[in-house]
Amino acid sequence: MTHDTATMPVTELKHTRWGAVLAVSLAIVLAALDLTIVAVALPLIGTELAAPPAVTQWVLLAYFLPMTALGIPGGRWMDRAGLRPAFALAVAGFGVASVLIALAPTMALLLTGRVLQGAFGSLISILGFPIVAAAVRPEHRGRAMGLITTLIPLSGLIGPGLGGLLAETFGWRAVFAINIPIAAA
């Protein structure tokens, strides 16, 4: 008999589901990376979309504000929605918002996409630890949580360098397009 790890009590797990830990880790890397990867592309975005620096700064804020503000209401919603459906919605929404941003012809559409991306990023962030707790045997929980908590600051550290490389090589849209294959995976 198979059990859904989203509804199964943690003590009944026979095997740690490292695949779930990997999926959550990738999603959390996406959410954390997008806090910093964009910063170095702001001048290119401003130039191409004819926006002054004061407006391009909103590309960062439009992501950060909903990501921060939706933590508590998102957690409450998650309690009712279930882990797997909420995680699937959050990752898919993040990917769709990334497509919207990468294709945005105007700053207004780009900022709209960033707000959506921040909202879905918030959901990803609050879903990660409960999913891992449900998918990992108690004796493996420290290792799994340690992996995720290590990847969050590492994502922030590599974001500017990766963003600069992508923006310089492929243009600013690549900074957002890189999210699409990761979200799909």
Residue 7 pLDDT greater than 70, yes or no? no
Q: Which two tokens stand for residue 54?
A: 């004061």
DSSP secondary-structure letter at 165?
H
The angle at the Cα of 151, spanning 148 to 157, to the nearest 5 degrees, equals 155
C-alpha distances in Å from residue 12, one per residue of 9, 26, 141, 143, 172: 6, 26, 14, 19, 47
Taking the C-alpha atoms of residue 39 and residue 16, their distance in angstroms, rounded to an integer, is 37
Tens-digit pLDDT profile for residues 80-111:
888 888 999 999 999 999 999 999 999 999 99
Question: Pick from 161, 152, 137, 133: which is nearest to 41 by CA?
Answer: 161
Which is more confidently placed, 185 or 14?
185
